[in-house]
């Protein structure tokens, strides 16, 4: 079966712009989580969505937002981009969220570069 | 605050040999899960092995096993018969099982090089 699909794979944006990243979870998975990975801060939790509702949010500024659609696909948006937003953004899915105890299935990420 | 520490930024192992990656964690949770994930150059995080904290028995998955020392809050990964395909970044992570907590806490990673 298809895995977690993230698009685009690479993205280059200019400071001040906004960006939207997309994540399509495994079919049947309703929980989608987002993580930011940088060399300095490592992997940090952004937010988690389940059935179109945000259930938890990490310690990121309000410029970072997300949403989930009825087909479980999720998007995250970053407005007013800063150089420090350059990172690999990883999406992970699970069936219910509770089954995260068994491990997530991750996508290959979107590499965002802000110049 | 919960933390996960991987003190070895990089490790090397000869093909077919055994290597152990270290991880320590700190949590106030009474119940939690621990994981090792592998991130090859393809960037996808792949689950290697998981451990339920309430189980004393160490988890094993083929060539991968853990040494879980709950009192010491230590969770090391042993890779036996190392293969070239094992070369990757390895991340240790904890997940509280408290209802309402949905985020993994990751360590900073250990880069594993496998020498032919």
Residue pLDDT, tens place only, A26-85: 999 999 999 999 998 899 999 999 999 998 899 999 999 999 999 999 999 999 999 999
CB contact under 8 A, A45 and B44: no
State the pLDDT at residue B100: 60
Nearest-CA distance B15 → chain A (Å): 27
State the pLDDT at residue A14: 98
How does residue B11 score in pLDDT terms, banded at 50, 70 and 90?
A: very high
Contact in structure between B36 and B91 (CB atoms under 8 Å)? yes
Please give the order of strands across the beta sheet that includes A5-7: A5-7, A19-24, A74-78, A64-68
Mean pLDDT value across residues B48-67: 93
State the pLDDT at residue A78: 98
Distance of CA B100 to the CA centre of its chain: 24
| DSSP 8-state code for residue A80 | S
State the pLDDT at residue B51: 94
Q: Assess B28–A contact: CB distance below 8 Å, yes or no.
A: no
Q: In whole numbers, what is the pLDDT of chain B averaged over residues?
A: 93
Q: Assess B44–A contact: CB distance below 8 Å, yes or no.
A: yes
Nearest-CA distance B42 → chain A (Å): 7
> Which residues 6+ apart lie within 8 Å of B98 measured at CB?
B29, B31
Q: Which of A7, A42, A108 to mutate to test the interface with B (most CBs of B within 10 A)?
A: A42
Mean pLDDT value across residues A83-110: 89
State the pLDDT at residue B27: 87
State the pLDDT at residue A21: 98
**Does the pLDDT value for residue B101 go beyond 70?**
no
CA atoms of A94 and B33, how far apart (whole Å): 16
Nearest-CA distance B21 → chain A (Å): 18
Identity of the residue in B37, B44, B101 whose CB atom sits nearest the CB atom of A107: B44
Angle at A55 between CA A51 and CA A60, to 5 degrees: 125
């Amino acid at each position: 079966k298809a895995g977690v699909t993230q698009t685009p794979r690479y993205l280059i944006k200019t400071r001040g712009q906004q960006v939207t990243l997309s994540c399509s979870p495994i079919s049947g998975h309703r929980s989608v989580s987002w993580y930011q990975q940088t060399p300095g801060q490592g992997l940090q939790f952004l937010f988690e969505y389940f059935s179109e509702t945000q259930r938890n949010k990490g310690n990121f500024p309000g410029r970072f937002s997300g949403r989930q659609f009825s087909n479980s696909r999720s998007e995250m948006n970053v407005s007013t981009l800063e150089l420090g937003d350059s990172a690999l953004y990883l999406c992970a899915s699970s069936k219910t969220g509770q089954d995260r105890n068994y491990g997530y299935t991750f996508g290959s990420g979107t590499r965002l570069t802000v110049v | 605050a919960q933390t996960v520490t991987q003190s070895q930024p990089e490790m090397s192992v000869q093909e077919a040999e055994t290597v152990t990656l270290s991880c320590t964690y700190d949590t106030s949770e009474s119940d939690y899960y621990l994981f090792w994930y592998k991130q090859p150059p393809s960037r996808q995080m792949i689950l290697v092995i998981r451990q339920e904290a309430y189980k004393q028995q160490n988890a094993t998955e083929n060539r991968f096993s853990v040494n879980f020392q709950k009192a010491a809050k230590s969770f090391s990964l042993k890779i036996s018969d190392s293969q070239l395909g094992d070369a990757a970044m390895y991340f240790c992570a904890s997940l509280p099982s408290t209802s309402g907590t949905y985020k993994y806490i990751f360590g900073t990673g250990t880069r594993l090089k496998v020498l032919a």
